């Protein structure tokens, strides 16, 4: 099982991460496509506005030429020659629909109405005195027209463009963009109607462009939602690609999460499913071989793997911090299984529980131990916490506080696997150690290795000098048992006296003893 630094993560967080991993590339892709579509539409409306100005300038060039040709006739009588000249401009010049002459702000001669026609001119109607966008004229009151006025003193000549040409241009210049033509306070839309309210702003890609040569401007743009419509129409392949990469990223994130969180997640699941159970191994007195206590050893009852040994999962549980709730659950199960038989066991029965450096980071363990002891009649059991010598813990203010509080509760401390580490006298004192548990490797050497026997003898001697209780682990043979008992070892533990057993079997054997 690979180790991981991740703590247990809940399902909601993992789902959230997967969604984020998938949606982020999709959102980013859409933002980029949206930006690209917006730019394309901008460019399109810029081109539309430029083309419209080019077209309208061209139309007005024709009216300008007509007016220039007619201006010398202004003030002259509206005779046949003048009327012929007026009609000639209408027929010869493209876009020009009507021409008129005025003298002293009074129109007196027109290509319409068969010549003579009287009406007054208000120069204020004309933007810059030159252009007027009209709703219609007396002949065609509902058809817009644009009148071009050329003045020279009292003389003036007029040439107008038919609204039909204007709306045609507004409609045909672009298939996508909407266009309006604005002259002073009036504007003309593609529907052919002249309005005198302000030009409505376009939601998308609005462009305003004024002609450099005549006093009018055009507005081009698109309605709201056009960018999305454009994206759907133009980028279906890119869209599919973005969604594909999003799903791929989501699957990848999911896979990575699974890989990185599976072992801890599996431990968390097992903890919730109560798969960690206590096994009990008896500890006997060295002199009488009576059962004086037991060591609680954790087993993982895995639904598929069967019974899993602790050295396969304890390091991982310690690494990810789950060892603390796992030990708490183990203490609770132990209390629940043994407490009903409290009256049948001899007072002061030792119950050894293994703890790790993780337990020494805060004071949580004190509450767990207090809860455990409260399950038994006072003084009926002695809780012994076994701390391995393999990984020495740093003495800090917290550990001092922790071990003081534990001693006040009557909890004892055993230094496990003694002889395999490098604990000093100061260390033993710092943590108020009560027992040393001689590592099984020394016991195994009894009778076989002279040097190990010497070390064993020194440990036994040291512990009696320091007034520490001593337990020998891994006693498998009668010879080892005899040797240890003869050397005054207080407690013995090993297969010779009993293997670790599940709760019910252990209790049966305990009662029969």
Q: Which residues bind ligand C2E (CB under 6 A)?
A: 281, 297-298, 309-311, 314, 323, 327, 330, 354-356, 386, 388, 416-417, 440, 473-476, 493-495, 500
Name which of 417 and 490 has its Cβ closer to ligand C2E: 417
Q: Which does 490 bind (CB under 5 to 8 A by kind): ligand C2E, Ca ion, none?
A: none
Name which of 132 and 418 has its Cβ closer to Ca ion: 418
Name which of 99 and 440 has its Cβ closer to ligand C2E: 440
Residues contacting 409, CB < 8 A, separation 6+: 366, 369, 370, 373, 383
Name which of 55 and 354 has its Cβ closer to Ca ion: 354
Whether residue 430 contacts residue 387, with contact meaning beta carbons closer than 8 Å, is answered with: no
111 binds Ca ion (CB under 5 A): no
Q: Which of 89, 493, 461 is nearest to 289 (CA)?
A: 493
490 binds Ca ion (CB under 5 A): no
Name which of 109 and 297 has its Cβ closer to ligand C2E: 297
386 binds Ca ion (CB under 5 A): yes
Task: In angstroms, give the least distance from the CB of 288 to ligand C2E.
Answer: 19
Instruction: Please give the Cα distance from 60 to 146 (Å, whole number).
Output: 9
Taking the mean position of all CA atoms in its chain, how far away is CA 64? 65
Burial (CB count within 10 angstroms: exposed 0-12, middle 13-18, buried 19+), residue 179: buried
The DSSP 8-state label assigned to residue 212 in this structure reads: S
Task: In angstroms, give the least distance from the CB of 347 to ligand C2E.
Answer: 25
Size of the site for Ca ion (CB under 5 A): 5
Task: In angstroms, give the least distance from the CB of 314 to ligand C2E.
Answer: 5
Name which of 252 and 307 has its Cβ closer to ligand C2E: 307
Instruction: Please give the Cα distance from 109 to 473 (Å, whole number).
Output: 129
Q: Which does 311 bind (CB under 5 to 8 A by kind): Ca ion, ligand C2E, none?
A: ligand C2E
Task: In angstroms, give the least distance from the CB of 358 to ligand C2E.
Answer: 8
Tell me the helices (H) and strands (E) count for the chain, helix number first: 14, 21
> Within 421-502, where are the H helices?
425-430, 440-444, 450-465, 478-486
At 150, phi and psi to the nearest 5? -120, 125
Task: In angstroms, give the least distance from the CB of 34 to ligand C2E.
Answer: 56
Q: Which does 298 bind (CB under 5 to 8 A by kind): ligand C2E, Ca ion, none?
A: ligand C2E
Q: Which does 309 bind (CB under 5 to 8 A by kind): ligand C2E, Ca ion, none?
A: ligand C2E
Name which of 330 and 510 has its Cβ closer to ligand C2E: 330
Q: Which span sits near Ca ion by CB under 5 A: 140-148, 375-383, 412-420, 456-464?
A: 412-420
Q: Which span sits near Ca ion by CB under 5 A: 22-30, 139-147, 228-236, 415-423?
A: 415-423
417 binds Ca ion (CB under 5 A): yes
Name which of 214 and 418 has its Cβ closer to ligand C2E: 418
Instruction: Please give the Cα distance from 282 to 419 (Å, whole number).
Output: 22
Cβ count within 10 A of residue 6: 13
281 binds Ca ion (CB under 5 A): no
Strands (E), 365-429: 381-388, 412-418
Task: In angstroms, give the least distance from the CB of 359 to Ca ion.
Answer: 14
Phi-psi region of 214 (alpha: psi -120 to 50; beta: other; left: phi over 0): beta
Q: Which of 443, 440, 441 is nearest to 479 (CA)?
A: 443
Name which of 180 and 388 has its Cβ closer to ligand C2E: 388
Q: Please give the residue whose beta carbon sits closest to Ca ion in the complex.
A: 386
Q: Which of 141, 133, 67, 135 is nearest to 98 (CA)?
A: 67
The DSSP 8-state label assigned to residue 97 in this structure reads: E
Name which of 135 and 477 has its Cβ closer to Ca ion: 477
Task: In angstroms, give the least distance from the CB of 389 to Ca ion.
Answer: 9
Q: Which span sits near Ca ion by CB under 5 A: 25-33, 146-154, 224-232, 471-479?
A: 471-479
Residues in the chain: 513
Task: In angstroms, give the least distance from the CB of 473 to Ca ion.
Answer: 5
Task: In angstroms, give the least distance from the CB of 25 to ligand C2E.
Answer: 44
Q: Which of 416, 412, 429 is nearest to 466 (CA)?
A: 429
Task: In angstroms, give the least distance from the CB of 260 to ligand C2E.
Answer: 24
Q: Which does 264 bind (CB under 5 to 8 A by kind): ligand C2E, Ca ion, none?
A: none
Task: In angstroms, give the least distance from the CB of 328 to Ca ion.
Answer: 17
DSSP-derived secondary structure for 446-463: TTT-HHHHHHHHHHHHHH
- Considering only residues 160, 182, 354, 399, which one is a binding residue for Ca ion as defined by CB under 5 A? 354
Are β-strands 276-285 and 491-493 bridged in parallel, bridged antiparallel, or unpaired?
antiparallel
Name which of 59 and 298 has its Cβ closer to Ca ion: 298
Burial (CB count within 10 angstroms: exposed 0-12, middle 13-18, buried 19+), residue 290: exposed
Instruction: Please give the Cα distance from 80 to 82 (Å, whole number).
Output: 6
389 binds Ca ion (CB under 5 A): no
Residues contacting 265, CB < 8 A, separation 6+: 8, 9
- The residues that touch Ca ion, with contacts defined as CB under 5 A, are 354, 386, 416-417, 473
């Amino acid at each position: 099982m690979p180790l991981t630094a991740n703590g247990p993560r809940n399902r909601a967080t993992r789902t959230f991460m997967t969604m984020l991993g998938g949606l982020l590339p999709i959102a980013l892709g859409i933002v980029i496509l949206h930006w690209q579509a917006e730019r394309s539409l901008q460019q399109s409306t810029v081109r539309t506005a430029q083309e419209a100005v080019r077209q309208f300038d061209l139309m007005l060039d024709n009216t300008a030429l007509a007016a220039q040709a007619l201006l010398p006739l202004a003030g002259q009588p509206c005779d046949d020659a003048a009327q012929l000249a007026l009609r000639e401009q209408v027929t010869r010049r493209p876009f020009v629909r009507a021409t008129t002459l005025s003298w002293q702000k009074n129109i007196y001669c027109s290509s319409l109405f068969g010549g003579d026609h009287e009406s007054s001119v208000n120069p204020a109607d004309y933007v810059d005195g030159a252009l007027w966008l009209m709703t219609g004229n007396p002949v065609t009151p509902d058809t817009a027209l644009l009148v071009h006025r050329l003045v020279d003193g009292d003389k003036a000549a007029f040439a107008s463009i038919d609204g039909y040409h204007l709306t045609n241009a507004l409609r045909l210049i672009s298939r996508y963009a909407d266009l309006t033509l604005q002259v002073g306070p009036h504007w003309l839309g593609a529907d052919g109607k002249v309005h005198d309210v302000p030009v409505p702003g376009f939601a998308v890609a609005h462009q305003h462009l004024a002609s450099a040569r005549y006093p009018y401007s055009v507005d081009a743009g698109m309605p709201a939602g056009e960018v999305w419509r454009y994206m759907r129409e133009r980028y279906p392949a890119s869209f599919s690609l973005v969604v594909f990469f999003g799903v791929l990223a989501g699957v990848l994130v999911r896979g990575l999460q699974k890989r990185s969180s599976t072992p801890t997640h599996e431990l968390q699941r097992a903890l919730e499913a109560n798969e960690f159970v206590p096994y009990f191994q008896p500890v006997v007195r060295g002199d009488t071989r009576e059962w004086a206590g037991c060591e609680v050893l954790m087993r993982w009852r895995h639904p598929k793997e069967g019974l899993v040994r602790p050295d396969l999962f304890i390091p991982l549980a310690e690494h990810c911090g789950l060892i603390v709730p796992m030990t708490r659950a183990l203490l609770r199960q132990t209390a629940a299984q043994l407490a009903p038989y409290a009256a049948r066991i001899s007072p002061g029965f030792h119950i050894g529980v293994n703890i790790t450096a993780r337990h020494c980071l805060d004071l949580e363990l004190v509450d767990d131990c207090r809860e455990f002891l409260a399950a038994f009649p006072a003084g009926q059991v002695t809780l012994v916490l076994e701390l391995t010598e393999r990984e020495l813990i740093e003495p800090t203010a917290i550990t001092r506080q922790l071990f003081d509080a534990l001693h006040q509760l009557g909890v004892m401390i055993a230094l496990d696997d003694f002889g395999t580490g490098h604990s000093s006298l100061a260390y033993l004192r710092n943590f108020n150690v009560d027992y040393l548990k001689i590592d099984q490797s020394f016991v195994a050497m009894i009778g076989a290795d002279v040097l190990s026997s010497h070390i064993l003898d020194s440990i036994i001697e040291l512990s009696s000098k320091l007034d520490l209780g001593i337990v020998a682990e891994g006693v498998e043979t009668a010879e080892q048992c005899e040797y240890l008992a003869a050397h005054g070892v207080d407690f013995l533990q090993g297969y010779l006296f009993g293997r670790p057993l599940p709760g019910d079997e252990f209790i049966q054997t305990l009662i029969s003893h």
